[in-house]
Amino acid sequence: MSYPKQKFGVVVFPGSNCDHDAYYVLKSIFKQDTRFLWHKDSSLDGVDAVILPGGFSYGDYLRCGAIARFSPIMKEVTAFANDGGIVIGICNGFQVLCEAGLLPGALLRNECLTFICKFVDLRVENSETRFTSECKTGEVLHIPIAHGEGNYFADDDTLERLEKNGQILFRYCSPDGSITKESNPNGSSGNIAGIMNATGNVMGLMPHPERAADPLIGPIDGQKIFQSVIKSITKYEQANNYSIVERS
């Protein structure tokens, strides 16, 4: 299968360590035009979507993502997001997005107090988004997590708002799709694993879709998320082009 080419930028903070993984999936599996964006850069190089990858930005010795949000590139990322650009934060990237205020809530330490690396099941809560259009609502994806601080927390009002607006994208679930305490690996409120902002262009998730996208090493459910994003940019551009044609 081939996909139309889009421009992706993967931000490299000092201490990012899943930057190459996101790059590899986009470049080698999906054949997208992909580049790294250095944390000190002050331009996004005209990309269509930005990925904040996993890792331990600045060592995460302070609160995760608390320093990375002050990186020069984050000013550009914030402006890009506020302008409707697609931004995806994976794991540490999700933490950075919360610290930067681009997504609500915070990621606390895992309830069990240890780092957890394992495959989990995720229920797709809303497939009518730019990040999940290739999934079905209620579908279960098998994707790994690897974090010490992925326990999503938000106050009740926020949780209610997220729920009402369909901003909750993924919940930890059992293999049959039921939301249970046993299937919640880190103590997240409402088993939340991934959310988007109110305008639907910024997503953060703790699981690593880029680790479940290469059939040569294992499961590939993560591909659906990248496929959704690539298609959504394409459609978005086509729609924009179309309107230009109409106007002229």
Partner 1 sequence: MEPKVNLELALQHGLNEEEYANILTILGRVPTYTELGIFSVMWSEHCSYKNSISEIKKLPRSGPRLLVQAGEENAGLIDIGEGMAVAFKIESHNHPSAVEPYQGAATGVGGIMRDIFTMGARPIASLNSLRFGNIDNPRTKYLMKGIVKGIGDYGNSFGVPTIAGEIYFDDSYNENPIVNAMSVGIVKHSEIAKAIAKGVGNSVMIVGSATGRDGIHGATFASEEISEESEQKRPSVQVGDPFTEKLLLEATLEAIKTGYVIGIQDMGAAGITCSASEMSARGNSGMIINLNLVPVREEHMSSYEIMLSESQERMLLVIQPEHEDAIKSIFDKWELQCCRIGEVTNDGKIGIYYNTLQVADIPAYNLVLGGGAPVYYRESKKPEYIDELRKFDLNSLPEPNDYNDCLLRLLSSPNICSRRWVYMQYDRMVRTNTIINISGNAAVVRIKGSNKALAMKTDCNARYVYLNPYEGAKIAVAEAARNVVCVGAKPLAITNCLNFGNPYKPEIYWQFKETIRGISAACLALNTPVTGGNVSFYNENPDGAIFPTPVIGMIGEITDFRNYMSSDFKNNGDIVILLGKTTGHIGGSEYLKHIFNTTAGDAPHIDLAAEFRLQELVLELIGKDLLNSVHDLSEGGLAIALAESSIYACENNRSLGVKVLLPEDGRMDYSLFGEDQSRVLISANSNNLCKIKAIVDEYDIEFSIIGEVVTDQFSINNLINLKLAEIATLYNNTIEKNIIE
Residues designated catalytic: 91, 208, 210
Residue closer to partner 1 by CB (options 112, 239) is 112
Nearest approach, Cβ of residue 67 and partner 1 (Å): 11
Residue closer to partner 1 by CB (options 17, 78) is 17
Nearest partner of 195 among 225, 172, 166, judged by Cα = 166
Residue closer to partner 1 by CB (options 39, 130) is 39
Query: What is the rounded distance in angstroms from the CA atom of residue 196 to the CA atom of residue 87?
Result: 10
Nearest approach, Cβ of residue 82 and partner 1 (Å): 29
User: Which residues make up the interface to partner 1 (CB under 8 A)?
Assistant: 14-15, 17-18, 20-21, 24-25, 54-56, 58-61, 114-119, 144, 146, 148, 175, 208, 210-211, 214, 216-219
Query: What is the rounded distance in angstroms from the CA atom of residue 162 to the CA atom of residue 234?
Result: 27
Nearest approach, Cβ of residue 15 and partner 1 (Å): 5
Distances 136 to 118, 141, 181, 224 between C-alpha atoms, Å: 23, 10, 23, 10
Nearest partner of 220 among 134, 94, 152, judged by Cα = 134
Phi, psi (deg, nearest 5) at residue 246: -55, -45
Nearest approach, Cβ of residue 54 and partner 1 (Å): 8
Nearest approach, Cβ of residue 18 and partner 1 (Å): 6
8 contacts 34 by C-beta, under 8 angstroms: yes
Question: Could you give the strand order of the β-sheet that contains 49-52, starting from the edge strand earlier in sequence?
Answer: 33-38, 7-12, 49-52, 86-90, 202-205, 192-196, 168-173, 116-124, 140-147
Query: What is the rounded distance in angstroms from the CA atom of residue 9 to the CA atom of residue 39?
Result: 12
Nearest approach, Cβ of residue 64 and partner 1 (Å): 11
Residue closer to partner 1 by CB (options 116, 165) is 116
Residue closer to partner 1 by CB (options 99, 125) is 99
- Tokens of residue 133, six digits: 């259009």
Q: How many CA atoms lie within 13 A of 60 on its CB side?
A: 21
Torsion 102-195-191-20 (CA) sign: negative
Residue closer to partner 1 by CB (options 118, 247) is 118
